[in-house]
Amino acid sequence: MSGAAGFAPAVAVAEGGPVNLVRQSALLAGRNLRVSLGAAAVAGMVITPLLFFFGFLAVFRQMFAAHGIDFAQYLPPAIVVMWVTFTAISAAVLFARDRRTGMLARLRSMPVNSGAVVAGRLASDGVRGLISICAVIAAAHVTGFRFATGVAGAAAFVLLALTVLLVLSVGTGAAGLASTEPEAVGATLHMPAMPLLMLSTAFAPVGGFPSWLRPVVEYSPVSAVVDALRAVAEGTDLAPLGRAAAWLLVLLVVFSRAATRAYRRAT
Amino acid sequence: MTEPMIQVEGLRKSFGKRAAVDGVSFGVPAGSVMGLLGPNGAGKTTVINCLTTLLRPDAGRVSVAGFDVERDPAGVRASIALTGQFAAVDQLLTGRQNLVLFGRLLRMSRRAAGERATELLARFDLAESGDRGVREYSGGMRRRLDLAAALMVPRPVLVLDEPTTGLDPRSRHAMWRVVRELRSAGTTVLLTTQYLEEADRLADGIVVVARGKVIATGTPEELKGKVGVSVCEVRIDDERARRDALVVLLDRWPDVTEGDGSIVVPGGDARTLAEIVRRLTEAGVETDNVAIRRPSLDDAFFALTGHGALGHHDGSPAASNGRAGAGAGR
């Protein structure tokens, strides 16, 4: 009708569909990784969690031994959950940056599957998280950390840790999409993250907390997740897995709603 | 012809209680350049966001290339190319990598995207820097790359949100040249700008918006016509000389006004001009320039709104060019 010769035909192009979703998610995940995987970033993803691991281990190993706890076995799940949290927070920062630079608006104005923008983000977070998780497990192995459950247990451990990361990323992603201030959103999310990590069984057993704090620690979602990771590594009592799954499901539902809303509004 | 390529009717969009766009209507004929002109916060970007399916309108109808933004947003997205206020390209990737990524997201094969990238890099004067990281690019180069990214797959409609904000004059002219080329190739262009000169030079039609409403529409000539007749402008930089001139000229034309470094005499014809020159020469006042000036869009905006012009008076090339460069030829 417009006689626009040479232009791509302006007929409705299906931008949905699984083929587009997979292809465009992969392209965007690749882009996210190229943007966030500079040499310094990779070093940060591997070295920083290891610094935390060896630091905590050096300071507290003797003390925990006195209470009959092998800290080399106790600590790795905590470091993994902490690092997975930090990785999710960096996802928020990267999303906010994409919004600020206009990249998000550009992608949303293109015939690109809307699921691909989010899936691409999650996939690249997953890869970044996987690198850190494997680095922590490898270092922990050197210091005596073992999976009583063998390879299957190790795989389940990594899978659970990645699930935690992705659920958290949906939530932090929502925060990132709602913000145009990458630095501010990072700082804001770090604030609740530290106390949540500390007031849990991540770094000390429930018995180590004053009695009035124990309910908080016992019912913390962080405890649920860390306990589940320990259960998978030890293979003894798998009850914590149910609690963790329930928490993750609830969080996923809440976070998805927030993320969908934020995505629609992000310009 | 048939229906305009872009049709906006009674568009409304509020954020909380604030109406960012409050009943805007306009149409853009196929193959023309429409300038959406207004100060910061006038609602230009909100109009663009509704038009590019980034925001859902609260009320009104918006269609692009025959697709309704609410009923068929995918059709709209397949018909437009958008470049925003910022250069939305990745700093850590090379120019070529950026272009190839966008091409492949639009379902081009790796090879086709590579070939198209080479072609666009050459066309936008980026051939030599195509394989360098974008972080090494100047602001103008980034904007050109941003526009190239939008053009990886040619679309009938190009939307440019403040394409030259913050660019140096040379880069601005390069952008203008590209927009003109696209127009002659048949692309319909909608561009927002706060620069009067930009709208004046590029657009076939202008929609002036302020506070979410359209306050005027027309061709650049029509808008300038609304301010009335031409004037003579006497430019004198020296303040004392200007005051002397003002006394001389007030004696003959009681309604002269003093502008920014200049004196404006109503009546833009050759006889007035000659008389001004004669009187000032007789009085021994030296002038920097005397010229007939058609009213600029800046004047038009002032006349339309009755209050201050388009913001950014200070550093804006539009404002200064509109005044200083407004010779008799316009």
Integer Cα distance of A55 and A52 in angstroms: 5
Residues B137 and B155 in one domain: yes
ipTM, two decimals: 0.83
Q: Which residues of A touch B (CB under 8 A)?
A: 1-8, 10-16, 20, 23-24, 27-28, 31, 34-35, 38, 100-103, 105-112, 264, 267
Residues B216 and B76 in one domain: yes
The residue range of the domain holding B320 is 231-324
Quick check: A13 pLDDT over 90? no
pLDDT tens digits along A91-103? 999 889 888 888 8
CB–CB contact B105 A267 (8 Å): no
Residues B158 and B286 in one domain: no
Touching A: B residues 166-185, CB under 8 Å: 185
Backbone phi, psi, residue A102, to 5°: 90, -5
CB–CB contact B77 A15 (8 Å): yes
- Position B43 in a domain: yes
Among the three residues B204, B225, B246, which one is the final residue of a domain in this structure?
B225
CB–CB contact B74 A8 (8 Å): no
Residues B33 and B145 in one domain: yes
Residue type, B242: R
Question: Chain A closest CA to B20's CA: distance in Å?
Answer: 14
- The residue count for chain B: 330
CB–CB contact B155 A103 (8 Å): no
- Position B17 in a domain: yes
CA dihedral A20, A21, A24, A26 (to 10 degrees): -130
State the CATH number of the domain containing residue B275: 3.30.70
Closest by CA position to A67, among listed A229, A204, A199: A204
Low-confidence ranges of chain B (pLDDT < 50): 308-330
Q: Which residues contact B157 (CB under 8 A, 6 or more apart)?
A: B5, B6, B64, B65, B79, B80, B81, B187, B188, B189, B190
Residues B212 and B246 in one domain: no
- Position B329 in a domain: no
Residue A7: strand, helix, or coil? coil
Domain count across chain B: 2
The neighbouring-strand residues paired with B216 are B208
Backbone phi, psi, residue B264, to 5°: -110, 125
Q: So where are chain A's domains?
A: 18-265
Touching A: B residues 114-153, CB under 8 Å: 149-150, 153
Among the three residues B172, B207, B225, which one is the final residue of a domain in this structure?
B225
- Position B156 in a domain: yes
A24 CB neighbours in chain B (<8 A) are 105
Query: How confident is the model at residue B191, as a pLDDT?
Result: 94
Cβ contact A200:A219 at 8 Å? no
Residues B220 and B235 in one domain: no
pLDDT tens digits along A114-170? 889 989 999 999 999 999 999 999 999 999 999 998 999 999 999 999 999 999 999
Cβ contact B271:B301 at 8 Å? no
Strand runs labelled E in B90-187: 157-161
pLDDT tens digits along B22-74? 999 999 999 999 999 988 888 999 999 999 999 999 999 999 999 999 999 99
Query: How confident is the model at residue A9, as a pLDDT?
Result: 47
Residues B196 and B300 in one domain: no
Touching A: B residues 50-69, CB under 8 Å: 52-56, 65-67
- Position B1 in a domain: no
pLDDT tens digits along B87-118? 788 888 899 999 999 999 999 999 999 999 99
CB–CB contact B82 A34 (8 Å): no
Residues B77 and B199 in one domain: yes
CB–CB contact A27 B92 (8 Å): no
Question: Chain B closest CA to A11's CA: distance in Å?
Answer: 6
CB atoms within 10 A of CB A222: 23
| Tokens of residue B305, six digits | 């709104």
Integer Cα distance of B76 and B8 in angstroms: 13
- Position B154 in a domain: yes
CB–CB contact B54 A28 (8 Å): no
